[in-house]
Structure 1
């Protein structure tokens, strides 16, 4: 089955504007604010008092806590963010007709799945970074290949290695189209990377943090719903022949990009 990006976009938007999608957006927004605040707090907390006082004017949203407390809060929110991404994956991957509520499996084996998500996410991030440093195209190729790792872990309850292989298999034959989604993410990151420093230079550091967090949530949640729709398309398209026949695959078939 050929990947239909236009259908994935429209389907993803419908999932986002549902009541459940709205709740997921608010939850994601709250976590992002927490991550931003804890990161700023950790930086300020580790600076000498005189430097912290001077830097605080450009630090944005922060709490009056020690650097260690800021780091601890950031780590805790990072783990919470991974757990939330599991719930996000399971919710957006359910049938569109059931998007009015969270699935009964949304918190199933959440601790185990969160650990897998964190470890696998670290492996993928390092791989993509190395591929991007060497050449841009290998990084793009790897990003497209592992785009469905979270869905394999969260929805299909697979292990880390199995999920990496599953994502690689689902992406086979559709990597060029998936690359478009990766490029869109890079372009959005570029916009954020330009807007936030401009606001900070203008003395609006708090506004810079707020704009960054809100724009990130407004982009990521529908974007992730679109990825979920793409995952469902490819999963159902590739798994359907396996369910309908027991004949082995044609050995002469040429692997697709």
Structure 2
């Protein structure tokens, strides 16, 4: 049975604005805030380092920087990192690592919530089941798939796109079937067979919608205030992250049901909560 793209988009959009979807959006917003703080801290420290080097080389022969050049850099970077924290860069990098782990855990939970037929799956025990191992597999699997896709992109781009679609359901297989990342990659490969063009179209559609929401709106408000631009970007980032996961998971649910039917009606009642 072929993938119903419209159904996946509609169900994904609907589930985004259910109670579970909004709770997850808040979680992703919080993760986005911490990530923004850490990223801006690293950027601010990098700018300070560059300025210090420029000042130390001021008047030093061929490497000389004039006061005007230094002032130009100071002016152009002023106000670009309003959320920078007064902490060492190593602390900011640790925060980024922490948010990456929490983000993967949140994505695993989101996949489980959106796979379940209930719009209140977060209140059950399935969403957080075996979350530590699932998160670890998600991180390692994501790195492995990322490397494979990157290598594929080097070779004329098309192989990279193919691998990205073939392993699209890696996280869903880990979340729903409690698979390790190796089995999840194999199962995703099998599950996407026969529907890869449809899945590619779905991913492109989601990417266009997310890009429009994540760039056009912040650009408009960014003309008013860089600070407002960051705030709006973070808020939209939480919603679009949930939307993307919801759409892909509902597409997975369609193909998962087909696979279960082929396997003599494999029992998936535990998710019909």
Note whether the superposition's TM-score is higher than 0.5: yes
Deviation, structure 1 residue 188 = 5.3
| Greater Cα offset, 217-226 or 170-179 | 217-226
Residue 22, structure 1, aligned to residue 22, structure 2: yes
Q: Is the 8 A contact 2:38 2:85 kept in 1?
A: yes
SS of alignment partner, residue 211 of structure 1: helix
2:90 aligns to what? 68
Q: Deviations over 1:2-51 (max 9, x none)?
A: 21111112222222221111111111111112112111112323553683
1:211 aligns to what? 232
| Greater Cα offset, 181-190 or 26-35 | 181-190
| Greater Cα offset, 184-193 or 131-140 | 184-193
TM-score (norm 2): 0.79
Counterpart-to-counterpart distance in 1, 2:181 and 2:50: 46
What stretches of structure 1 move > 4 A for 4+ residues in a row?
188-200
Q: Which of 154, 168, 190 is equivalent to 1:169?
A: 190
CA distance 1:193–1:7, shift in 2 (3 Å): closer
Counterpart-to-counterpart distance in 2, 1:9 and 1:46: 41
Residue 100, structure 1, aligned to residue 115, structure 2: no
Deviation, structure 1 residue 207 = 2.7
CA distance 1:56–1:127, shift in 2 (3 Å): farther
Deviation, structure 1 residue 129 = 2.3
Counting only pairs closer than 5 Å after superposition, residues 52-201 of structure 1 correspond to structure 2 as 54=74, 55=77, 57-95=79-117, 98-102=118-122, 103-187=124-208, 191=212, 192=214
Q: Deviations over 1:33-76 (max 9, x none)?
A: 21121111123235536838933521243222111111111111
- Which ranges of structure 2 fall in alignment gaps of 5 or more residues? 53-72, 267-273
Q: Is the 8 A contact 1:44 1:56 kept in 2?
A: no
Deviation, structure 1 residue 134 = 2.2
| Greater Cα offset, 231-240 or 9-18 | 9-18
Deviation, structure 1 residue 88 = 0.8
TM-score (norm 1): 0.83
Counterpart-to-counterpart distance in 2, 1:38 and 1:126: 25
Counterpart-to-counterpart distance in 2, 1:186 and 1:220: 11
- Which ranges of structure 1 fall in alignment gaps of 5 or more residues? 246-257
Alignment size in residue pairs: 242
Once superposed, what is the RMSD of the aligned Cα atoms?
2.6
Q: Deviations over 1:83-124 (max 9, x none)?
A: 1111111111111xx212413121222111111111111111
CA distance 1:132–1:170, shift in 2 (3 Å): same
CA distance 1:14–1:50, shift in 2 (3 Å): closer
